[in-house]
Amino acid sequence: MRGPHNLLRLIRTGATFERTGAMGAALDAMGASPRVRAAARILGWPFRWLGFRGDPALPPIPRALNALGPAYVKFGQILSTRADVVGVDLAGQLAVLQDRLPPFPTPIARQIIAAELGAPPDELFATLSEPVAAASIAQVHRAIRADTRGEVAVKVLRPGIAAAFRRDIDAFHFGASLVERLSPSSRRLRPRDVVSHFESVVMAELDLRLEAASASEFRENTKDDAGFAAPRPHWDLSARRVMTSDWAEGTPMGDVAAIRAAGHDPARIGQSLLQLFLRHALRDGFFHGDMHQGNLKVAANGDIIAYDFGIMGEIDEYTRRTYAEILMGFIQRDYRRVARVHFEAGYVPRDRDMDAFARALRAVGEPIFGADASRISMANLLSYLFEVTERFGMQTQTQLILLQRTMVVVEGVARSLDPQINMWQVARPVVEDYIRASLGPKAIATDASRVLQTLARHGPLLPALVERSLWQAAHPQPVVQPAPSTSAAAAWLVLGAALGVLATVLVAAIF
């Protein structure tokens, strides 16, 4: 229920930050003024007793986020990859949220495994370790299959996690509605749609059968990608609350010193990570949506291993082409092109000035080029971009939220490997390859083929549709009915589409 009772939840969020000491730590990270600190202290102190105590063993901010629930932990995981935004110290503290949270007891995990797989764990696994990693939603045990003796990872959902997540999401919905009521200007950001999108993505993590399906599809898509690997799911040992997959052996992506000690080049790995992510998003339209250091390893041969496929992103072909053109426009510093694509896609209202929008985009993009990457403030860049979109009435594009968020996370991971990495230079060859493949003559022929296939599937309906339209044209009704005009329009649309396809095929053949 998204009622006013959630106001208490939001108040408790602030109270928890005050009680755990996270409020002061957050204000320090933001460089807040003494006046803001005093106001926060005055407002927070009376409600301090309502806050959760949290785990004293954790640093203040991770302690508060972990105490508040899994949705807050997810937020902290994102910030942990952005040392350039929150600072190196705070990013290091937040890193514990990735895979080093307190686990739940192994006996409970064994009970869940038995209930889900229909047999005691000792019959299914020759060995089953204590938890080797624990995150906000599940924990992982290292095991050996009893039948094949293969080494596997067994992921088990935390007990009661579904109810906890629904409670958090419920409060977020209430908060988003409250923001829209109190601040009408915020409606262009569509906070309620953003929360709904976040809900649909994250709730899928609570059914590990869906994660196994995502892992299987992602592995199939990327099997030929050099320098990349994804563990294989074991369907016979997976269920709603349990998922078994190949064990991924490697050095954690967050341990840069160990990566370097193993003889690998962190800068090369960072570049490869960025390019692989873009290739998956643009080429396949299906990408890993949670690529923080806790879900990445470096294999002994230098390959990047990705795992934990609970959050996956999917974008359609049209959106991919739009996104690629926007990226290419920034890479080529063609801000007029970037502005035009925004207007053509409907991202910016057509009554706005395209030239003014292009100049505003230039002010966002130009500081990136020719500058020392380590001196670029991503926080300031995002702040100015927010001002630009607000000025031109650009609405939040929910279909791009996960893509944009993951891009920020992946860039943060790559920057932790190589602080001097330039995202635009690294991205350029991948984007250029995609544009050549998706906008050239071959792509036109592919699109035409898809249209022909669609017409062929509906072929049996066309004769009756044309005959009905011709009869209605020869016997006009005294009163215009919606159905005849619709049918006639449909017939002409089909015939026009067929002629358009033929013309497209001829153009593709010529070029």
**Residue 112's pLDDT band (boundaries 50, 70, 90)?**
very high
Backbone dihedral angles phi then psi of residue 129, each to the nearest 5 degrees: -80, 175
Q: Is 463 exposed, middle or buried (0-12, 13-18, 19+ CB in 10 A)?
A: exposed
What is the predicted pLDDT for the residue at 302? 94
pLDDT in tens, 290-328: 888 889 999 999 999 999 998 888 888 888 888 788 878
pLDDT in tens, 36-91: 667 667 666 777 777 888 888 888 888 888 888 777 887 777 666 555 556 667 77
Work out the average pLDDT over 199-224.
89
Res 492 pLDDT > 50 = no
What is the predicted pLDDT for the residue at 11? 79
Poorest-pLDDT segment among 85-89, 423-427, 481-485: 481-485
Dihedral angle computed from the Cα positions of residues 359, 361, 364 and 367, in that order, rounded to the nearest 10 degrees: -60
**Residue 130's pLDDT band (boundaries 50, 70, 90)?**
very high
Res 416 pLDDT > 70 = yes
Which of 192, 214, 408 minimizes the C-alpha distance to 311? 214
* Distance of alpha carbon 19 from alpha carbon 51, whole angstroms: 6
Tokens describing residue 478 = 């005294």
Where helices occur in 418-481 by DSSP H, the ranges are 423-439, 441-457, 462-474
Q: Which one-letter DSSP state was computed for residue 187?
A: G
What is the predicted pLDDT for the residue at 188? 58
Top-confidence residue, 185 or 225: 225
pLDDT in tens, 143-198: 999 999 999 999 999 998 888 888 878 877 877 777 677 666 556 556 677 677 66
Work out the average pLDDT over 440-455.
70
CB 284 within 8 A of CB 430: no
* Distance of alpha carbon 2 from alpha carbon 170, whole angstroms: 6
Helix axes 423-439, 441-457, angle to 10 degrees: 50
**Residue 223's pLDDT band (boundaries 50, 70, 90)?**
very high
* Distance of alpha carbon 201 from alpha carbon 402, whole angstroms: 9
Residue at token pair 């196994």: 212
Work out the average pLDDT over 477-500.
47
**Residue 407's pLDDT band (boundaries 50, 70, 90)?**
confident
CB 95 within 8 A of CB 80: yes
Out of 168, 290, 308, 418, the active site residue is 290
Res 421 pLDDT > 90 = no
Top-confidence residue, 35 or 232: 232
What is the predicted pLDDT for the residue at 217? 97
What is the predicted pLDDT for the residue at 3? 59
What is the predicted pLDDT for the residue at 438? 78
Active-site residue, 290 included = yes
What is the predicted pLDDT for the residue at 195? 73
What is the predicted pLDDT for the residue at 493? 43
* Distance of alpha carbon 358 from alpha carbon 41, whole angstroms: 43
**Residue 252's pLDDT band (boundaries 50, 70, 90)?**
very high
* Distance of alpha carbon 263 from alpha carbon 200, whole angstroms: 41
**What is the model's pTM?**
0.71
SS3 category, 244: strand
* Distance of alpha carbon 302 from alpha carbon 265, whole angstroms: 9
DSSP per residue, 381-411: HHHHHHHHHHHTTPPP-GGGHHHHHHHHHHH
SS3 category, 52: coil
CB 270 within 8 A of CB 300: no
Contacts of 450 (CB under 8 A, 6+ apart): none
Res 8 pLDDT > 80 = no
Bridge partners for 100 per DSSP: 134
Task: Please state, rounded to an integer, the average pLDDT across all residues of the chain.
Answer: 79
Q: Are strands 125-134 and 304-306 parallel, antiparallel or unpaired?
A: unpaired
Work out the average pLDDT over 107-134.
95
What is the predicted pLDDT for the residue at 409? 81
Q: Is 428 exposed, middle or buried (0-12, 13-18, 19+ CB in 10 A)?
A: middle
Top-confidence residue, 447 or 343: 343
**Residue 461's pLDDT band (boundaries 50, 70, 90)?**
confident
pLDDT in tens, 350-398: 888 999 989 988 887 787 666 665 555 554 555 566 567 667 877 666 5
What is the predicted pLDDT for the residue at 88? 63
